[in-house]
Structure 1
Amino acid sequence: MEDRFAFLAEWYDPTAALLRRYQLFFYPTDGSVEMFDVKKQKIFLRKTKYENLHLQDLFVGNRVNVFSRQLNLIDYGDQYTANKLGSKKERTLALIKPDAVSKMGDILEMMYASNMIVTKAKMTKLTWSQAADFYVEHQSKPFFNNLVQFVSSGPVVAMEVMGDEAMSVWRKLLGPADSAEAQREAPLSIRAQLGADFAHGSDSVAAAARELEFFFPSTMGRGPSNTAHCSECTCCIIKPHAVSQGLTGKILNSITAAGFEISALKMFSVDQANAEEFYEVYKGVVTEYPSMVAELCSGPCMVLEIHGSDTPKIFRGFCGPADPEIARHLRPNTLRALFGKDKVQNAVHCTDLPEDGVLEVEYFFKILDD
């Protein structure tokens, strides 16, 4: 019998203003998908090969794009799928502390190599009070004040990480708390390479739940605020295809190696209406507009504020021509030449006009960051 995974998925139909529910079936042997309308009790999409959906994308809580429909995976469709794909799945917090933020590209590459998926991410600057609340269990320890002072001394990057046994995988990747011990026993670990106190990982399921709620609250409230300046800046979006292909770390490394300052960062899942609004300036001007919208809302993207005077013009040159093939001929060291596939999946979006830099940053970090 052919291997098949089943999920319960929801799709908001903007035309009818209805939330529609489907069973989504994925066949890993040939990458085919099939959809069954739960309410109408009939096949909605017959089994069709679809190259843009992969097994690693399939987990409860994720949003996937199937033929331009954004589907929220809300539950497993059968016990077989739950047993095969859900039994070992965990979410945990990975926190990059101030002294290691410049190395976040390297850390993300190490995560990807360890089969961990970053599902949420945010750069923030904790106040003393917030840092003290986060480390409240260490309040009686002699190192508490120094720890709070350090963590609140500059921006941190908080991430929700998901994967098979993610908590133990991340803590193993971190290595022993003592950097000398880490260098002896786990020379490839983060603490061996970067230092003992450069990153944090949850040490229990309860701690992971509390710490994730601190940075990414599921109830009312926004958690610690983002670090966007919204002045003298430009916007960079690492597109969903690049995120899903594990290129985020490489792109961040390229940006920082070129001397650009990443002053704000957050992962967003953009819906169709917001994607159309953001790209509205290209409507009727660029033939790829519909495909650009579909790509932007096809999965999580990572949005960056690049800060500095005259940054929009310089950073646009660093991204290269919109067509990666042209970029590879004319500007082979640009981001799109190195990481792009075609004019739509060209790795990154960057602000075209200098006067739009602040507006694009504000769109994400003020309007959509609710």
Structure 2
Amino acid sequence: MSDHNDRYVFEAEWYDKIACMLKKFYLYYYSSDNTVELFDLKTRKTFLRRTTCDGIKAKDFYVGSVITIFSRCIKITGYADTCTKTKLEMQLQKVFVLLKPDVIDKMGEILKMIINYDFHIMNLKMIKLTVDDIAENCFIKKDIVDKTSVINYLISGPVVALELLGGNGITRWQELAGPEDSNHARLTAASSLRACYGKDEICNAVYGSKDTETVIQELQYFFPNSKSKNKGPKNTATLQNCTCCIIKPHAIQEKLVGAIIDDIQKAGYMIIAAQQFYVNPINSEEFLEIYKGVLPEYTAMVAELQSGPCIVLEVSCKDENPNIVADFRNLCGPMDPNIARQIRPNTLRAKYGKTKIQNAIHCSDLPEDGILEVEYFFKILDGI
């Protein structure tokens, strides 16, 4: 093995579909020559000798990331030594961010700007803040006189909570967000989020944690881990006059979330609920069971859905639309992106899909499936 200064060690896991078991590894990454190695913790043997993998870059290695190594989707679950933890946590910082109620209709645009600023979206959930949520956290500056107006603004509609990860994250978030007062931001930081989307000091589009301590507190509150008794704030799903859209794991890895949501919103649709899910193998099979024996790609579709985080949307229209499922399918386009590019080049799959399996999004097929599929994620899986 080479100089250990360039070596990073992670705890990782992979679900072996043939053996029907979760395998755990140490994943070694060597930044000097961009090579990886896998050590099987159960057999105590090398599973994959040190080798180069196409498409893998240093920035892909962080806790929560899913890395494809020779068609296997390996999820990084933790640091395996303190040296890796120290080095990466100095480079990468988490930030808790809120998109405030009056910019939800611009959510796609804002997410595009966040991603273009080199932040990873680690978690996402649309919620409705309560007065208690606001009291428990640091959303209001101590020196603001009219606290009532701020509270009324924050509870006036849904917000989107985000967990972001980026190099020197807290400082760089403040740069991207701009000064608190949107009017001041327009004079001093014209390309910042508050300059582009805020109105004044109260309606200023976004909030982000100011220091590491606040980040930890707010992430634990809004995105508690699975062992926590606190489930975090409820999702905003209405399960009415809606259809389901899933942004697939490969599209998230390719940083297309903002672009896809932006296209959906610009096409006149409303996003009523949004949440990131990791779909386990059993749930993936169950959700896609309708295609078993119908589509030859069923097994590959199941593997794609569980290969990393996906973002699920409840999509609706401003007006009561009896054909919401069919209309939204038209925006998505044919299942095969190559066909979509030939006959419907402006559809989502034509623009963002790669193959019939990695076709960027899943959308509901039948009128009755819209509500049922939204319910599956936002009522059944989110309630587990």
The answer to whether TM tops 0.5 is yes
Distance 1:317 1:30, change over 3 A: farther
**Structure 2 residue aligned with 1:222:** 231
Matching residue's letter, 1:325: N
Residue in 2 that maps onto 1:154: 157
* TM-score w.r.t. length of structure 2: 0.88
Match of 1:262 in 2: 271
Structure 1 residue 111 displacement after superposition: 1.3
Which whole-Å deviations, capped at 9, do the CAs of 1:158-206 have from their partners, x for residues lacking one? 0011111211111110001122221222111001111141100101111
Is residue 10–residue 76 contact of structure 2 (8 Å, CA) maintained in 1? no
Q: CA deviation at 1:18?
A: 6.6
The SS at the match of 2:229 is: coil
Show the counterpart of 1:71.
75
Q: Distance in 2 between matches of 1:52 and 1:363?
A: 33
- 1:108-147 superposed matches below 5 A: 108-135=111-138, 141-147=144-150
Secondary structure in 2 matching 1:87: helix
In structure 2, the partner of 1:253 is 262
Show structure 1 runs of 5+ residues with no match.
Answer: none
Q: What's the offset of the Cα at 1:280? A: 0.9
Q: Is the contact between residue 64 and residue 298 of structure 1 (CA under 8 Å) also seen in structure 2?
A: no
* Matched residue count: 369
Choose the corresponding residue for 2:107, options 96, 104, 107: 104
- Is 1:237 matched with 2:231? no
What SS does the corresponding residue of 2:368 show, helix, strand or coil?
Answer: helix
CA distance in 1 between partners of 2:135 and 2:249 (Å): 35
Deviation, structure 1 residue 10: 3.7
Q: Which of 36-45 and 47-56 deviates more?
A: 47-56
CA distance in 2: counterparts of 1:296 and 1:261, whole angstroms: 24
1:65 Cα deviation from its structure 2 partner: 4.9
* 1:343-358 equivalent positions in 2, closer than 5 A: 343-358=356-371
Deviations 1:290-340 (A, max 9, x none): 221121111111110012422101001110000011001111110001111
CA deviation after TM superposition for structure 1 residue 29, in Å:
6.9
CA deviation string 1:192-225 (max 9, x = no partner): 1111411001011111112112211232122111
| Secondary structure in structure 2 of the residue aligned to 1:284 | coil
Q: Name stretches of at least 5 consecutive residues in structure 2 with no aligned partner.
A: none
Q: Quote the offset at 1:16 in angstroms.
A: 7.3
Q: 1:360 maps to what in 2?
A: 373
Shift, 1:26, TM fit: 3.2
Contact map agreement 2:140 2:150 (CA 8 A) in 1: no
CA distance in 1, matches of 2:248, 2:35: 24
CA contact (8 A) 1:33 1:49 kept: yes
- Once residues 298 and 343 of structure 2 are traced to their aligned partners in structure 1, the CA distance between those partners, rounded to angstroms, is 24
The equivalent of 1:300 in structure 2 is: 309
Deviation at 1:71, TM superposition (A): 3.0
Within 1, Cα distance between the matches of 2:374 and 2:116? 30
Q: Tell me, what secondary structure is at the counterpart of 1:354? A: coil
In 1, Cα distance between equivalents of 2:353 and 2:19: 36
Aligned to 1:171: 174
Q: 2:39 aligns with which of 28, 32, 36?
A: 36
Compared CA separation, residues 126 and 86, structure 1 to 2 (3 A): closer
1:212 to 1:275, Cα distance in 2 relative to 1, 3 A: same
CA contact (8 A) 1:105 1:252 kept: yes
For 2:195 and 2:146, locate their aligned partners in 1 and report how far apart those are by CA, in whole Å: 21
Give the TM-score of the pair, scaled to structure 1.
0.91
Cα deviation, residue 56, structure 1: 2.8
CA contact (8 A) 1:97 1:200 kept: yes
Alpha-carbon offset, residue 17 of structure 1:
8.0
Q: What CA distance in whole angstroms lies between the structure 2 residues aligned with 1:177 and 1:243? A: 30
> What is the identity, as a one-letter code, of the residue corresponding to 1:101?
I
Once residues 111 and 172 of structure 1 are traced to their aligned partners in structure 2, the CA distance between those partners, rounded to angstroms, is 11
2:12 and 2:74 in contact (8 A); partners too: no
2:11–2:26 CA contact under 8 A, matched in 1: yes
Q: Could you say what the CA RMSD is over the residues aligned between the two structures, in angstroms? A: 2.4
Note the C-alpha offset of 1:103.
1.3
